[in-house]
Chain A
């Protein structure tokens, strides 16, 4: 790309002609528009709509807490919310626990292969989420890959319906779809642990497991918590995976929101459900922040 330094030297007086204020305004404008209008204002609209009655019009009518009262009092929504939390929690746990050893290997053992391995674990992150879920649908289907492979290899004699349309299918599919999210934050946290800390532990007589448990693990917790958060958030609101591989027994809160803005056509109520989800996520974020602080701000 040439030598940028030479262009600097070649630059002639004109610079000061443009005011610094104009530059700052121009630089703040795109981001300002997007963040305040598309994010804050749009989220504000959701909260506003959640406090309105449904009369079929875009912004509803009147001011009411009826939507929130329904969400809070109908056991159906509690059941679906708890199921969403359970599924997202399991997915987060599975993803983080399975990703940790990979991140550990990348940080401490990979050596020259580190670049290639990092590249390989990042790559699926950029492939279509819908296709990753679809892949599991063909794996778990009655006439699918897993059933046919088990029969081919003589392990089973008949295909089973037990794979598809179960909450377990949702957990496995989501854990696979969001696996690449978890490795990088943990890896970054492990990689930034000063090597001298680990060396000091072993010099002072700590056995490898003790030094892992007392030094490495606590120091990597910020990464673990960050990983948990980036997996938990998209999974708790997911509606595609329950629809494709979950069946009716795995309806999640995201599916309900989607239905309110689709078939059920009750936008204010859907908005109230969305606000409830955001409150749940806010609570989780606060817990994570609190836990984070307990592990000290090292990074």
Chain B
């Protein structure tokens, strides 16, 4: 902490300005969508033409849109449940299962991060056609479980690793079975992370386009609906109004999930000696990006 303060005096100012500029670059293009969604013109261009809610009004009473929204919500909920369940079991067995199979499964579960979405999409397209049900909402659910899996595995692994080992060992020593220890001790202790993993998996699915594009049958998700509207210049303002609503929902869910995750980790780390408190000590490379 002391060194940080000393460091802050030398060059920290320039870096701070750079970070500010970077954040502007990160957020400015995204913020243009809400800005122009209230603009009374079909063109997304300056000067602004005046304030309107007209584009938001066009959202209501659109049955294709509400159908896509319903699909996205259902697919998101089921896929997030599946991905969270897999994330919990895979990371738990990886950490405590002491079996090579569990380690292998955990490694493969994080593989989708090294596979471009287009390939996840086509591989599952072939698979669901082979099974027989073909492109459908079920197919999208399977795809989204894969896309969200690395996130849920890494979040849950970080969380389980942050729980002091002594707590689990105490439960086992006191005669609790593996199952009881898992259900009555480890799960309640990682509840914030579970909720956070579920929410982020839901968001991943809700916003996912690349994989869903290949797996959608006759019932599109919301991003697929947006994609279909991008061809028509006339519907761009409507897309921007819809995009604004989606961004707002995404930001709120993501904010809650991140806060929950950090609360949970902070709470877990308080009684832990420093060497145990770093999640993902063993993991490097691919996936440290979620493990802070």
Per the 8 Å Cβ criterion, residues 245-292 of B in contact with A are 246-247, 250-251, 253-255, 257-258, 262, 278, 284-292
CB atoms of A181 and B7 under 8 A apart: no
Please tell me if B68 contacts chain A, counting CB pairs below 8 Å.
no
CB atoms of B12 and A127 under 8 A apart: no
The proximity string for A residues 73-112 relative to B, scoring 1 for CB distances below 8 Å and 0 otherwise, is: 0000000000000000000000000100110111011010
CB atoms of B247 and A8 under 8 A apart: no
- Interface stretch of the complex, out of B50-58, B59-67, B223-231: B223-231
Q: How far apart are B173's CB and chain A's nearest CB, in angstroms?
A: 11
Using A23-B177, A39-B146 as known contacts, say yes or no to A31 and B30 having CB atoms under 8 A apart: no
Please tell me if A246 contacts chain B, counting CB pairs below 8 Å.
no
Using A46-B126, A134-B33 as known contacts, say yes or no to A35 and B44 having CB atoms under 8 A apart: no
Using A11-B180, A126-B203 as known contacts, say yes or no to A42 and B116 having CB atoms under 8 A apart: no
Residues on B with C-beta less than 8 A from A27 are 89, 92-93, 97, 182
User: Which among A109, A128, A237 is the interface contact of B7 at CB below 8 angstroms?
Assistant: A109
Q: How far apart are A110's CB and chain B's nearest CB, in angstroms?
A: 8
Residues on A with C-beta less than 8 A from B247 are 127-128, 131
Please tell me if A208 contacts chain B, counting CB pairs below 8 Å.
yes
Chain A residue nearest to B192 (CB atoms) is A1
Please tell me if A138 contacts chain B, counting CB pairs below 8 Å.
yes
Chain A residue nearest to B10 (CB atoms) is A208
CB atoms of A274 and B119 under 8 A apart: yes
- Kindly state the separation between the CA atoms of A165 and B253 in the bound complex, as whole angstroms: 34
Residues on B with C-beta less than 8 A from A277 are 116, 119
Using A39-B146, A277-B119 as known contacts, say yes or no to A122 and B258 having CB atoms under 8 A apart: yes
Please tell me if B232 contacts chain A, counting CB pairs below 8 Å.
no
- Kindly state the separation between the CA atoms of A225 and B19 in the bound complex, as whole angstroms: 21
The proximity string for A residues 135-161 relative to B, scoring 1 for CB distances below 8 Å and 0 otherwise, is: 111110101110111001000000000
Residues on A with C-beta less than 8 A from B32 are 135, 138-139, 145
CB atoms of A39 and B111 under 8 A apart: yes
CB atoms of A109 and B23 under 8 A apart: no
User: Which among A42, A46, A117, A126 is the interface contact of B250 at CB below 8 angstroms?
Assistant: A126
Q: How far apart are A84's CB and chain B's nearest CB, in angstroms?
A: 10
- Kindly state the separation between the CA atoms of A170 and B5 in the bound complex, as whole angstroms: 40
CB atoms of B236 and A138 under 8 A apart: yes
Please tell me if A229 contacts chain B, counting CB pairs below 8 Å.
yes
How many residue pairs at the A-B interface have CB separations less than 8 Å? 336
CB atoms of A237 and B119 under 8 A apart: yes
Residues on B with C-beta less than 8 A from A229 are 114, 285-286
Please tell me if A41 contacts chain B, counting CB pairs below 8 Å.
yes
Residues on B with C-beta less than 8 A from A122 are 254, 258
User: Which among A4, A40, A145, A187 is the interface contact of B189 at CB below 8 angstroms?
Assistant: A4
User: Which among B16, B130, B175, B230 is the interface contact of A13 at CB below 8 angstroms?
Assistant: B175
CB atoms of A192 and B33 under 8 A apart: no
User: Which among A31, A59, A149 is the interface contact of B89 at CB below 8 angstroms?
Assistant: A31
CB atoms of A149 and B97 under 8 A apart: no
User: Which among A49, A106, A188, A198 is the interface contact of B126 at CB below 8 angstroms?
Assistant: A49
CB atoms of B22 and A98 under 8 A apart: yes
The proximity string for A residues 212-255 relative to B, scoring 1 for CB distances below 8 Å and 0 otherwise, is: 00000000001101110110011011111000100000000010
Residues on A with C-beta less than 8 A from B7 are 108-109
The 9 A-B pairs at the shortest CB distance, nearest first, are namely: A237-B116, A148-B45, A126-B254, A31-B90, A15-B177, A184-B289, A128-B207, A42-B123, A35-B108
* Selected A-B contacts with CB under 8 Å, 28 pairs: A1-B191, A8-B170, A11-B176, A16-B177, A18-B180, A23-B177, A23-B179, A31-B90, A38-B124, A39-B109, A42-B126, A46-B122, A46-B123, A98-B22, A105-B16, A108-B7, A122-B254, A123-B251, A127-B207, A127-B250, A131-B246, A134-B239, A138-B236, A199-B3, A229-B285, A233-B114, A234-B116, A281-B116
Q: What 14 additional pairs, Cβ within 8 angstroms, besides A123-B254, A134-B239, A222-B284?
A: A4-B185, A24-B97, A27-B92, A32-B101, A34-B109, A36-B108, A39-B109, A46-B119, A124-B30, A129-B210, A181-B289, A184-B290, A208-B11, A226-B286
